[in-house]
Amino acid sequence: MFSRRKRTFRTLHNRDIDPDEVLLDAFNLPSFDTSQFEGRVERSIRSQIPMLVGGVAAIIFVIFFVQVWNLQIARGEAMAVLSKQNSLNQEILFAERGVIYDRFRRELAWNVLPDESRNSLNTYSLRKYIDKQGFAHVLGFVGYPEKDSRGFWWRTNYIGKAGVESSLNYMLDGENGVRIIEVDALNNIQSQNTIRAPIDGANLTLSIDADIQEALYKAIQTGARDSGFMGGSGVVMDVTTGEVIALTNYPEYSSQVMTDGIDQEKIEKYSTQTGQPFLNRAVLGEYTPGSIVKPYIAAAALAEGLVTPTTSILSTGEIRVSNPYDPNNDSIFRDWKAHGWVNVREAIAVSSNVYFYAVGGGYEGQKGLGIERLAAYAARFGLGVATGIELDSEGKGVVPTPSWKKEVFGEEDPWRIGNTYHTAIGQFGFLVTPIQAVRYIAAVANGGTLLTPHLIKGTSMQSFPVGVADEYLQIVREGMRQSAETGTAAAVNVPGIKIAAKTGTAQLGLNNESMNSWVVGFWPADNPKFAFAVVLEKAPAGTLRGAAPALQSFFRTIVNEYPEYVRGEYPALDITTE
């Protein structure tokens, strides 16, 4: 019976009895809480639901499969292009380099965006320079930003390579900006966003007067070419502020050619040319000064009380000193001519060597400064010392001393009185630069203040007293005026302008076969405002026309075209520049 019922029950229900149907929760049984598991009525899932879910999944799969096939197969090539060209690019916003002006706000170096690049991205402006001669060594030139062979920028800034473009690059160079640009497959801009705006470089106003600079260059160029000098240099400086009004060299290179870098033949010629056009003679050229040192030695002798303005010394054309190594042969130190009795003013005017032998090294009854004081006063006037002008480097020059000679020539050749005599007339190992020479003469002109020359207009003046009373410097100034009127510097005595000057000729070579020619001075002679120094380098010995005659054309230009300068004033010229 039992077995038959069991089979009937299983047949009716066609399933086994689950344990949870038999073992009811004893705690839940009295109330039969339907929220509990055993209180729920279970019902099987309908067969249509899995089919419906499966159908939806199949449809979705088909849609994705079709789209993947469309993108990868049907439009695969086009999509590959889009994936590469639809991108976000980081672009450089090039800062503009600062513009360089002369003292009257006339452009000397500026920027121009090439026409073909005006609507393009990732471009920088080209540097342009004044189309006049005489400016290369002041302005210098630049190198542009550059890309590598793959088109990536390996240099993103302008690089100053000479002149103020180099020494003041930290002021002229700006700070590049960055922007993000979205472009499509056709390189059309879809959107752009500036992350960092560029900051342009600072503009610079130099103390240079472009007209005076060009006039000085042309005078030096013509003088050098006509008289067979290899090169030359000149500087004009304000004796009250230290501002450099002109600084030029001949020969020179072209700032534009060097910056553009296209004319390789001309650039190569610069490197091989005998005149060394890359040499900034004004600050790096070290030249034997010759007689242009005599004004400072005269001032020192007066200041030390070795002579008075009326003390006269006889020049017979030479002095003789006993030679301890050969008593039968005196050492002879010659003058360029016999001048007779000369006082300090006259000695400067006629450039008497004998006078300066005597006050420099002592002779017979005349006491001399001696080499130590000669060197000390040279340093006071800025000779043998870098001036501090705002250019990358400059020569220091040499003031001969016993220690210098020992270092150069060794112990076997001690310092002799003849070395002192030669130093007193600017020979032996004496070397100065044109910028030192103009600084020294400016100190004579302004009453004894040594100024730091500078190229930026309005720079705070740095000055040092030379320690010589103006009453003595006034005697020297009178001697230099006399030199320009009737003495060795008479070639610069151009009508219409009062100039005080001193010339110098330095012998070069083992046999004195070559010469340098100097002229230094200031104007107006009675109220100095501007100092000048010019050197013409290396012509055959005995060349008659030197630096002083070369400056005649310069001073005629000043008289005829710039009368304000004749009076020691600046022209009332101011160019308004945006």
3-state SS string for 214-229: HHHHHHHHHHHHHHCC
Q: Smallest Cα–Cα separation from 518: which of 440, 413, 417, 449? A: 440
pLDDT of residue 1: 44
Q: CATH top-level class for 210-566?
A: alpha beta
pLDDT of residue 218: 98
CA atoms within 13 A on the CB side of 76: 5
Helix (H) or strand (E) run with residue 256 in it: helix 255-260
Quote the CA–CA distance of 208 and 200 in Å, as a whole number. 23
CB atoms < 10 A from the CB of 478, how many? 18
pLDDT of residue 577: 44
Q: Could you tell me which CATH number the domain at 87-205 has?
A: 3.90.1310.10
Sign of the four-CA dihedral 299, 305, 309, 315: negative
Report helix, strand or coil for 205: strand
pLDDT of residue 115: 72
Quote the CA–CA distance of 350 and 498 in Å, as a whole number. 18
pLDDT of residue 181: 77
pLDDT of residue 118: 53
Rounded (to 5) percent helix, strand, coil in the chain:
35, 20, 40
pLDDT of residue 298: 98
Quote the CA–CA distance of 394 and 247 in Å, as a whole number. 13
Sign of the four-CA dihedral 219, 221, 226, 228: positive
Quote the CA–CA distance of 263 and 283 in Å, as a whole number. 28
Q: Smallest Cα–Cα separation from 244: which of 129, 132, 110, 137? A: 137
pLDDT of residue 76: 65
CB atoms < 10 A from the CB of 86, how many? 14
Q: Smallest Cα–Cα separation from 541: which of 574, 576, 568, 505? A: 505
- Where are the strands (E) in 382-480, listed by range? 449-451, 463-465
The stretches in the chain having pLDDT less than 50 are: 1-13, 24, 577-578
pLDDT of residue 411: 86
The residue type found at 484 is A
Quote the CA–CA distance of 494 and 491 in Å, as a whole number. 8
Quote the CA–CA distance of 3 and 10 in Å, as a whole number. 11
78: CB partners within 8 A, 6+ apart: none
Tokens found for residue 199: 């900051």
CB atoms < 10 A from the CB of 153, how many? 15
Place of tokens 């006071």: 380
The residue type found at 302 is L
Quote the CA–CA distance of 238 and 531 in Å, as a whole number. 6
pTM exceeding 0.75: yes
Size of the chain in residues = 578
pLDDT of residue 5: 45
Could you tell me which residues are beta bridge partners of residue 90? Answer: 180
Residue range(s) in the chain whose domain bears CATH number 3.90.1310.10: 87-205
Residue range(s) in the chain whose domain bears CATH number 3.40.710.10: 210-566
Place of tokens 């029950």: 9
pLDDT of residue 279: 96
pLDDT of residue 277: 97
Quote the CA–CA distance of 105 and 113 in Å, as a whole number. 21
